[in-house]
Each structure stands twice: as C-alpha cells, then as structure tokens.
Amino acid sequence: MSGGITMIEIKNCPSLLVEGFNTYSPKAIKMLYRGARVNPILNFDIDEFRNVGEIADAMHRISVSGVQEKFPATIKSGDIRIAGDNERSTHILKPAPWDKTLHDRKLITANEHLTMQIASQVYGIQTAANGLCFTPKGQPVYITRRFDIQLPDGSKLPMEDFASLIGKNEQTSGLHFKYNGSYEDIAKAIRANVAAWMVDMERFFELVVFNYIYANGDAHLKNFSLILNGQDYRLAPAYDLLNTSLHVNGDDLGLDGGLSPDIEKSDVFDKTGHPCRLDFERFGNKIGLVKRRVDKILNKYISLPEGALNLIAQSYLPEKAKRNYTRIVNERITRFIRESK
C-alpha cells in the first residue's frame, strides 16, 4: 500500500469481506461511509495517539457503553481522523485493547468485525455499520459508524442502555453492575418502553440466541440499548458482538441471572451446565413470543451456515484463529441441539 510502510495485504473488502477488493467495496462505502471514498489505512499510529494528554478527553466525548478504548472519529478528505474537541464524531475507532491478560488480544478487532458481519449478512440481524481500517504498521482497528448521529446536521438521537433503564449502576449494584440481571429483565424493559414491543422482542430474542451460539460471553446490560426512532423508542442496532471465547474462559451467557431465574432448566442444562434448545424455547415463551416464531428463529442456529464459514475464511483473523473460531461455534451448536428428555 501507499508510503511503503504498511505490511497488511488487503485482499477482501475490509468491511463486507467481499473477495477481490483491496479497499472498501462500493456497497461498503455506501453503508459505512455514506458514499464517501475512504482510505482504509490510517495516517497516524493509534498506539502513539494513546500516549498524548488529549486521549482522556477524546474518550470521554463518546457516550457509548463499554470499557474497551474507543476513539471519536470523523472522515476528512477521504481520511479517517480523530475528532477534534468541538467536532461531532460520526464514527468510532476501537483498537486492540491494552490488557495483556487477554489471550490473542490483538485479534479482538478482527474477531468483532467478523462476528458483526456474520450477524448482519448471514442471519439478517440489524447491526451498526462496521469495518476494519489499519494502522501504518498493519494492525487492524475496528471502525463503526455511529447510528445515533443524524446527518447532515449532526444531531444526536436520544439513546439509553438497559443498565440505565433497569436502574442498575455502581451505587445500587456494585462494581460489576452491568452483569447483574437476567435477559428476562431486558425483555420486561422492552415491553414497558417500546410501543411495537413484539417486533423488537423477536429481535432481542434472536440476539440472545446468536450471542450464545457465537460465544459472546460479554452480552451485558450496557450492550443492549433503546434509541428514539421518530416518535417511538426501538431496540437499537446490535453492537459489540464478538466471540469472547477466543480470548477468555467465560460463562455461556453474559448476565449473572442467565435467561431467567424463573424458568425451569432442561435436564441437559442441569446435567451439563449448558443450556440447550429447550431452554431457549422456554425463554421465548416466557417473554411473550409465539411458538411458531420462536421455532423459526431457533431453526436458523441448528447448524453452521455456509455463509458464516465463507465469512470466517475471508476474515482478517489468522488461519489458526479461524479454525478456533469455527471449532468454538460448532461446539456451541452441538450443545444447543442436544435433546432434552
């Protein structure tokens, strides 16, 4: 690539993973950058930027949940830049985290990108537009377009995560408050706050299933939000989806209370400690979904689709990580399809 300093070889679109593109594909340009042609190579090293005094201010300007470092970004003259103090950011950059206790931490960006693309392209889950860009040294950095920013005026849509909606915070529920609850708690808040709750309840239910199958053990209360859409609040597009089992040994589900404290566990769950399809069927019924619709969603997850395998193959994960990613998901599917007596 340009300048002779980039070691990354771009063979597939760094957003939609379409083969044969050494930059963003036309469709990706439209979805991620609203039609602007953008250089996938950053003209600064984000690791160096981390060390300047302005970084804390830059991070505080983003009102998006999460603990991974996030940088507000804008697009200027075809380049991705860190947003200035008085600029409204349109995108968010997420480099690999510093936490060296995470296994293969530098792969987290490509992992999140792949998982988000599988959710969107294979399962039709509404997600934040996303892709990868690369430092001059070739390190992938995750980039996502802010869905709470309206153009051309840059106004911000009201948005609230479910920790806030349910009333969980550090004062009421301790340091790890965002893990304190169950997915039924989120479902109850959707029903209470969303006029068209049945539509969004199905979207939420599928997200819970997807997170289990794709081993996202960090699907906590702050990783689900409501956003004002016209006159009504709706479930926000999915964000922060990744296969956490590539990096940490964690729980099957991201919340301490699991699916629901009031649902009888299947005998498979009791014996193995892992939920199976019957547990998700009972959860779907508990949150008010029709059995036919529950079955239609669950049937999408009884095998690993060819489309997902193709995206894994075309992703920016190294070959060994691709194999591990596939193995982890296949193990989850095996657990999921176990029949309960």
Q: Give the CATH number of the domain where residue 162 resides.
A: 1.10.1070
| Other C-beta atoms lying within 10 Å of the C-beta of residue 308 | 23
The proportion of the chain whose per-residue pLDDT surpasses 90, expressed as a percent, equals 76
Mark whether 114 and 194 lie in a shared domain. Answer: no
Mark whether 104 and 44 lie in a shared domain. Answer: yes
Mark whether 53 and 111 lie in a shared domain. Answer: yes
Domain hosting 290: range is 155-336
CB 135 within 8 A of CB 141: yes
CB 241 within 8 A of CB 301: no
Mark whether 122 and 183 lie in a shared domain. Answer: no
Mark whether 113 and 185 lie in a shared domain. Answer: no
Give whole-number Cα distances, 204 to 51, 188, 199, 324, in Å.
Answer: 38, 11, 9, 27
| Two tokens, residue 52 | 């300047």
341 part of a folded domain: no
Mark whether 20 and 137 lie in a shared domain. Answer: yes
Mark whether 222 and 332 lie in a shared domain. Answer: yes
Cβ contacts of 50-55, under 8 Å, gap ≥ 24: 50/95, 50/98
Per-residue model confidence as pLDDT tens digits over 281-338 = 999 999 999 999 999 999 999 999 999 999 999 999 999 999 999 999 999 999 999 9
Mark whether 55 and 178 lie in a shared domain. Answer: no
185 part of a folded domain: yes
Domain boundary among 102, 121, 150: 150
Domain boundary among 122, 150, 178: 150
| 47: confidence class by pLDDT, cuts 50, 70, 90 | low
Domain boundary among 125, 150, 175: 150
pLDDT (0 to 100) of residue 150 = 85
Q: Per the structure, how many domains does the chain have? A: 2
25 part of a folded domain: yes
Mark whether 140 and 159 lie in a shared domain. Answer: no
pLDDT (0 to 100) of residue 50 = 52
Per-residue model confidence as pLDDT tens digits over 3-33 = 444 467 899 999 999 999 999 999 999 999 9
In the predicted model, what is the mean pLDDT of residues 186-210? 97
Mark whether 331 and 189 lie in a shared domain. Answer: yes
| pTM confidence score | 0.92
Mark whether 23 and 145 lie in a shared domain. Answer: yes
163 part of a folded domain: yes
Give whole-number Cα distances, 178 to 22, 87, 90, 136, in Å.
Answer: 39, 30, 26, 35
Mark whether 145 and 200 lie in a shared domain. Answer: no
In the predicted model, what is the mean pLDDT of residues 246-274? 92
